[in-house]
């Protein structure tokens, strides 16, 4: 449970090697040397990430196995994290695939894998997290969505549609948890410059993992339900959402 000053004391990061997820964890753990569980598939990479968090001021840091596609094991992941560090103040859902649209359109298998990880896996583990937080009576699930899901563009409609589905699910989950003490924070960043996007040309309104982390930290402290990064994207998407489809279809976006 958060301390008397409202500082986070425990974090579960699902997607424990995610650059954005780790940036969020660093922001949350340092003030009170919070405990962290990093959950992912690559144990060697998780160990490196854990060492980095300790250097950044985290207290206890544990690593556990987590596979987005192993939906039958997701409740065990939440139970194990709770066993290791107690009640979970924040659960960050930070895993996902970006995909390669040209290849995924041509072959199909990549699109199915992307949808399975980004949507199905996220839905499954968010529900497991919600059950845990309901039992605790407190805690926040931080869902890393994307501006790509606000109005799905032809240039990345496979990825965008997976984020659109996740975003809608997270909104509904937040409403379902209302009054339980548990909450959901939806983070909608634009293009984030990370190793995963290093080969891509940053579009306007690009941001960084550290900026996303700072905005997430602030939103958690303010008790918000949705945060856009950068904030200006909220108003850009108000316009984009209402563009007539024939016009939007002709745009090179």
CA dist., res. 20 & res. 36, Å (int) = 15
Length of the chain: 253
Backbone angles phi, psi at 224, to 5 degrees: -80, 165
Element (H, E) at 40: strand 35-40
Active-site residue set: 159
Burial tier of 76 (Cβ tally within 10 Å: 0-12, 13-18, 19+)? middle
CA dist., res. 124 & res. 216, Å (int) = 23
CA dist., res. 12 & res. 140, Å (int) = 10
Name the token pair of 198.
Answer: 């290093």
CA dist., res. 152 & res. 150, Å (int) = 6
* Distances, alpha carbon 236 to alpha carbons 1, 9, 143, 158, 225, in Å: 37, 36, 21, 21, 19
């Amino acid at each position: 449970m958060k301390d008397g000053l409202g500082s986070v004391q425990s974090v579960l990061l699902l997607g424990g090697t995610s650059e954005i997820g780790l940036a969020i964890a660093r922001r949350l753990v340092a003030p009170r040397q919070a405990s962290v569980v990093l959950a992912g598939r690559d144990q060697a990479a998780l160990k490196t990430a854990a060492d980095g968090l300790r250097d950044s001021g985290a207290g206890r840091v544990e690593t556990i196995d987590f596979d987005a596609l192993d939906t039958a094991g997701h409740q065990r992941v939440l139970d194990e994290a709770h066993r290791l560090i107690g009640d979970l103040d924040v659960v960050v859902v930070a895993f996902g695939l970006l995909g390669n649209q040209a290849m995924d359109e041509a072959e199909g298998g990549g699109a199915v894998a992307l949808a399975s990880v980004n949507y199905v896996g996220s839905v499954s583990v968010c529900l497991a997290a919600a059950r845990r937080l309901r039992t605790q009576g407190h805690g926040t699930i931080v869902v890393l969505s994307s501006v790509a899901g606000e109005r799905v563009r032809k240039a990345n409609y496979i990825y965008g549609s997976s984020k659109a589905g996740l975003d809608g699910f997270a909104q509904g989950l937040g409403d379902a948890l209302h009054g339980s003490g548990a909450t959901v924070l939806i983070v909608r960043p634009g293009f984030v410059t990370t190793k995963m996007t290093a080969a891509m040309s940053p579009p306007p309104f690009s941001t960084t993992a550290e900026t996303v982390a700072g905005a997430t930290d602030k939103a958690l402290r303010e008790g918000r339900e949705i945060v856009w990064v950068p904030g200006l994207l909220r108003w850009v998407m108000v316009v984009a959402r209402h563009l007539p489809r024939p016009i939007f279809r002709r745009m090179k976006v």
